[in-house]
Amino acid sequence: MMKTKILAALAIVAALVAVSSARADSIVLYGNSEQPPKAWLDGGTPKGFAVDASVEVLKRAGYDVTVTLLPFARAMQKATEDGVMTGVFFSAERAKLYDYSAPLVFDDVVIAVARGKDFPFDKAADLAGKKIGLQGSFFYGDEFAAVLPQLTVDGDASPSLRVKKLAAGRVDAALFNPGKTAFVNSVKEAGLSADDFSILPKPLVKLSNHLIVGKNVAGGAETLARINKAIASATADGTLAKIMAKYAQ
Is a pLDDT exceeding 50 seen at residue 8? Answer: no
Taking the C-alpha atoms of residue 147 and residue 145, their distance in angstroms, rounded to an integer, is 6
Instruction: Output the pLDDT for position 78.
Output: 97
Among the residue ranges 18-22, 48-52, 115-119, the one predicted with the least confidence is: 18-22
68 half-sphere exposure, CB direction, 13 A CA radius: 15
Q: Which domains does the chain have, with CATH numbers?
A: 24-105+207-246 (3.40.190.10), 107-206 (3.40.190.10)
The predicted-structure confidence for 60-94, as pLDDT tens digits, reads as follows 999 999 999 999 999 999 999 999 999 999 988 99
pLDDT one-digit tens code per residue, 135-177: 887 889 889 999 999 999 999 989 999 999 999 999 999 999 9
Instruction: Return phi, psi of residue 58, to 5°.
Output: -65, -35
Mean pLDDT of the chain, nearest integer: 91
pTM more than 0.85: no
